[in-house]
Chains A and B, each alone.
Chain A
């Protein structure tokens, strides 16, 4: 099976940097995805890691360590519109390469 853990809620200040952690346990790891989901809307793709290291995309970066079963999403220069849930999802080849989602981290950006 899959076990994906992320903090339930986080609060950060506009303009700051925030790091959202995700730990996972899976038997057939085949990539990790981060999605952003605003309330009542569908998730939108942010980043993908399959090899160890940092992937940077504008204000968002994602890091992966496969040996530690650990990833983080880093958001820089926070804006109010970044208030949303951030979903960590692991692709498992033993699960037909389906995505398995964590419960999501609800980020609130305050002025």
Chain B
């Protein structure tokens, strides 16, 4: 149980393109979903937290107009990187949590984004 699917797994696109990444909880309803970014050999950095039906909460330093998050249902959250540039190239990982804070976060397989 507790499977989180993330799509696509790999994106290569030109600078200026907008890229949408989907995160789905397949066998549970996720009250909260999280978006992380990870640069090579570094740890996961939380970008934002989203709850179904409400606006995402962004971490300090993360541009909400550049990284658009939509959490339309209890099983789906999307991250759109708008007008992506080479410095946005990174490994983006979503996670989902069911229920209260005693539950672990379950991670998707990640999306490797490369902007040329």
**A residues adjacent to B (C-beta < 8 A):** 30-31, 33, 35, 40-45, 48, 50, 87, 91, 93, 96-104
Interface size of B as a range: 20 to 34
Contact A31 B109 (CB under 8 A): no
Q: Are B102 and A101 touching (Cβ within 8 A)?
A: no
Contact B34 A42 (CB under 8 A): no
**B residues with CB within 8 A of A:** 6, 34, 42-46, 49, 57, 91, 93, 101-102, 104-110, 112
Within the complex, the shortest CB–CB distance from B57 to chain A, in Å, comes to 7
Q: With a CB–CB cut-off of 8 A, which chain B residues contact A98?
A: 34, 46, 49
Instruction: Flag if B104 contacts A33 (CB, 8 Å).
Output: yes
Q: Could you tell me the distance between the alpha carbons of A104 and B44 in the complex, rounded to whole angstroms?
A: 9
Which chain A residues lie closer than 8 Å to B102 at the CB level?
31, 48, 50
**Do the beta carbons of A42 and B43 come within 8 Å of each other?**
no
